[in-house]
Amino acid sequence: MTFDTDLKGAQAHLAKLLDEAAAAVAFTGAGISTECGIPDFRSPGGLWTQNKPIPFDVFRAHKAARNEAWRRKFAMEEAFAAARPGRGHMALSRLLERGRLAGVITQNIDGLHQASGLPDAALVELHGNGTYATCLDCGTRYELSWVKARFDAAGGVAPDCPACGGPVKAATISFGQAMPETEMARAEALTRGCDLFIVIGSSLVVFPAAAFPLKAKKAGARLVILNREPTEFDDLADLVVRTEIGDVLAPFALQA
Ligand code: NAD
Ligand code: ZN
Residue 161 sits in a domain whose CATH number is 3.30.1600.10
Q: Which ligand is nearest to the CA of 126?
A: 1
Span 114-152, pLDDT tens digits: 999 999 999 999 999 999 999 999 999 999 999 999 999
> Do 32 and 44 belong to one domain?
no
> Do 31 and 44 belong to one domain?
no
Which amino acids bring their CB within 6 angstroms of ligand 1?
29-31, 33-35, 38, 40-43, 46-47, 107-110, 127, 201-203, 206, 227-229, 244-245
* pLDDT value at 5 more than 70: no
Q: Can 89 be counted among the known catalytic residues?
A: no
The model carries a pTM of 0.95
Which of 110, 139, 172 corresponds to the end of one domain? 172
Closest by CA to 55, choosing from 165, 201, 178, is 178
Locate the DSSP E strands across 108-184.
123-125, 128-135, 141-143, 168-172
Residue 230 sits in a domain whose CATH number is 3.40.50.1220
Q: Which ligand is nearest to the CA of 140?
A: 2
Cα–ligand 2 centroid distance for 159 (angstroms): 11
> Do 221 and 253 belong to one domain?
yes
- Between residues 222 and 45, the one the model is more confident about: 222
Nearest residue by C-alpha to atom 22 in ligand 1:
31
> Do 19 and 98 belong to one domain?
yes
Span 59-93, pLDDT tens digits: 999 999 999 999 999 998 988 999 999 999 999 99
> Do 46 and 99 belong to one domain?
no
For residue 157, give its domain range. 39-82+130-172
Relative to the CA of 210, which ligand 1 atom is closest? 25
Closest by CA to 28, choosing from 133, 132, 143, 116, is 116
Confidence of residue 51 (pLDDT cuts 50, 70, 90): confident
C-alpha separations of 226 from 40, 133, 229 in Å: 15, 32, 9
> Do 136 and 256 belong to one domain?
no
Cα–ligand 2 centroid distance for 141 (angstroms): 9
> Do 147 and 96 belong to one domain?
no
Which of 141, 172, 203 corresponds to the end of one domain? 172
Span 171-214, pLDDT tens digits: 999 999 999 999 999 999 999 999 999 999 999 999 999 999 99
Closest by CA to 95, choosing from 253, 211, 248, is 253
> Do 77 and 192 belong to one domain?
no
**Would you state the pLDDT for residue 42?**
82
> Do 122 and 146 belong to one domain?
no
> Do 122 and 6 belong to one domain?
yes
Nearest residue by C-alpha to atom 13 in ligand 1:
31
* pLDDT value at 30 more than 90: yes
Report the amino acid identity of residue 241: V
Q: CB neighbours (10 Å) of residue 8?
A: 10
Count how many domains the chain has. 2
Q: CB neighbours (10 Å) of residue 245?
A: 25
